[in-house]
Amino acid sequence: MNIALIAHDKKKDDLIEFVDLHKDVFGYHTLFATGTTGTRVMEKTGLNVHRFQSGPLGGDQEIGARIARGEMDFVFFFRDPLTAQPHEPDVTALVRLCDVYSVPLATNLGTARVLIDGIIEEQSE
């Protein structure tokens, strides 16, 4: 499966720790990420991650294009709801694409736990 990893600056540590905690699961899949997030995930976990541009430079849109082409199975996008994002229209478009194409999207740790449990269950079948 193809899994996208994205995080706003104040949520990067949370996403990286989550991926590291579940690297045995993520390691069985193809990972994609926006620039800085992907670099930090690779440094922390040793997992291979295809990196796009950083979010504000178009990385969110690159992942969105993969969603629209049916090339993304899950998106883990840890958003910071308390900080204004300069590229908020891109963020909104990405979330919208997940809804349009029924791609499961985790925007916080709680939803991420549910999604990872679903991935684990699917792997064991």
Fold of the 2-124 domain: Rossmann fold (3.40.50)
Kindly write down the DSSP assignment for every residue of 1-43, as one continuous string.
-EEEEEE-GGGHHHHHHHHHHTHHHHTTSEEEE-HHHHHHHHH
- Are 76 and 8 in contact by the 8 Å Cβ rule? The answer is no
Binding residues for substrate: 8, 12, 34-37, 54-55, 87
pLDDT digits (tens, 9 = 90+) for 56-110: 888 999 999 999 999 999 999 999 888 877 778 888 999 999 999 999 999 999 9
pLDDT digits (tens, 9 = 90+) for 45-65: 999 999 999 888 889 999 999
Residue 67 burial (CB count, 10 A)? 22
Clarify whether 60 is annotated catalytic.
Answer: yes
- Determine which one of 20, 24, 60, 90 is catalytic: 60
